[in-house]
Amino acid sequence: MLGGLSVSRARGAGRWPRHAAAVAALCSLRALGDAAAVPAAGADGERAMLGGSPERNMVSAARGLPSSCDLATRRNVRWMAQLGSQAYAGPVVAGGKVYVGTNNERPREPGLQGDRGVLMAFAAADGSFLWQATHPKLAAGRLQDWPMEGLCSTPAIDGGRLYYLSNRGEMVALDTSGRRLWALDLIAELGVVPHFMTASSPLVAAGLVFAVTGNGPDETGRVPAPRAPSFIAVDQVTGKVRWSDASPGANLLDGQWSSPAYGILGGRPQVLFAGGDGWLYGFQPETGKLLWKFDANQPAAPGGERTHEAIVATPVIHQGRVYIGVGHDPQRPPAGGRLWALAVGGDGVVTPAWSLGGAALGTTLSTVAVAGGVVYAADFAGWLHAIDAATGVQLWKYDTFATIWGSPLVADGKVYLGNEDGDVLVFAAGRELALLGKMSFGSAIYTTPAAAGGVLYVATHDRLFALAASAAGAAAARSSPDRRPAPFGRWPKRGDP
């Protein structure tokens, strides 16, 4: 059993676990919408991933979503499920299941104690716990597998299989019932040395699973394994490496926690890798041939000032352009950043269409959403920016007064954005600023809301919520078979049985 992977399933009705104290956060993940994919889905048509499609645009086709909720009365709350004490991966929804990455602070399996990375699966209909896959921590400790951070990779689901990167630096393939199909140890087999955490969210396209390996510098800034791959393409069926790339080499500025994107640029399919060296790379998906690369730290204009940042956000491909912002380890304070809109030609020539940065837009962990001619971009300092997609002119911005780790999700004519204060702010999508509401969950949010089937899924630090604009939400929450119902009008509290 590779890396101590353990899969356990529900044994019947559960009970409310007790609350535990939250601990400091490190890695950041963005979650999905349910936009259409570029390549065809697997044989059973079941497909989902970070961003909803390989282009990674944070836009969902879901409709009928709520703009508000009340946790005390459970208005618009269909159900709630307990997680560990940290959650950075997901939620992602496919085939009637919701998947979330968390830690093991509230063990669901008595025989599996201690700090672990955990992938949990719940029934989308009622929140009942289905199964979990757990991974013990690496012996290297915080330098490669930060304590208590859990599992930080949002799974990609395709054709009844799901793929993710574990906290142990493994690419793991399971079926959607939790049965292990294969696993690739990036550390033992490829020589990768993760920096703090392996966090990339894979995508599946052209029969391959693409992911950033997490290879990075040590605590002194030196890169221990400059020849180890930073980016890999793995056969979806066999788990064998088809090709890999180590372009950043010894030039890494920070850890590598981004995720790849796939789409059509310049008339040909390409897969994009955002490196910890601050460069964006475009590859031929089947062979790994480098088609182009772009220095995201270059001055916006000749003679201007360079930035000195890695890339944590995931690139987005939309209507022939690529959108990407620079950023760094969230343990460091925000700084002046830059968001690029790039036109990629068929000859591999990359031309900046526009950029926004400096005092106008800070460093970011977040992936953009592009809809209706507007780019919605969040920076780590807590601002949501609406930018004209054609010109780069800033249309409006809003200060959420808390750091932002997740990404904006556009769905149902609205923009949803969570922050570290535990709020999901809801805006009207469009060229004018209109705040529609604020949903407060009382626990930090490091993920992005997901939308599917008229339901909005929100993962806070320690709980997963399903929100639906229906009076039936409260009744469904009280009757969920995964938990003993709390007294009407409040959620379970510390010490509740």
Band the pLDDT of 3: cuts 50, 70, 90.
low
Band the pLDDT of 39: cuts 50, 70, 90.
low
What range defines the domain where residue 446 resides?
2-15+37-479
Assess if residue 278 is contained within a domain.
yes
Assess if residue 20 is contained within a domain.
no
Alpha-carbon distance 217 to 125, whole Å?
Answer: 43
State yes or no: pLDDT of 41 exceeds 90.
Answer: no
Assess if residue 496 is contained within a domain.
no
Assess if residue 30 is contained within a domain.
no
Number of domains observed in the structure of the chain: 1
Name the E strands within 246-380.
261-265, 268-274, 279-283, 290-295, 316-318, 321-325, 336-344, 350-362, 369-371, 374-378
Band the pLDDT of 11: cuts 50, 70, 90.
low
Number of helices (H), then strands (E), in the chain: 2, 34
Average pLDDT for the chain:
87
What's the pLDDT score for residue 340? 98
In DSSP notation, 423-450 reads EEEEEESSSS--EEEEEE-SS---S--E
Assess if residue 490 is contained within a domain.
no
Assess if residue 484 is contained within a domain.
no
State yes or no: pLDDT of 51 exceeds 90.
Answer: yes
Alpha-carbon distance 262 to 353, whole Å?
Answer: 20
* pLDDT > 90: percent of the chain: 76
Looking up residue 307, the CATH number of its domain turns out to be: 2.130.10.10
Average pLDDT over residues 467-480: 56
What's the pLDDT score for residue 195? 86
Record the pTM: 0.88
What's the pLDDT score for residue 330? 82
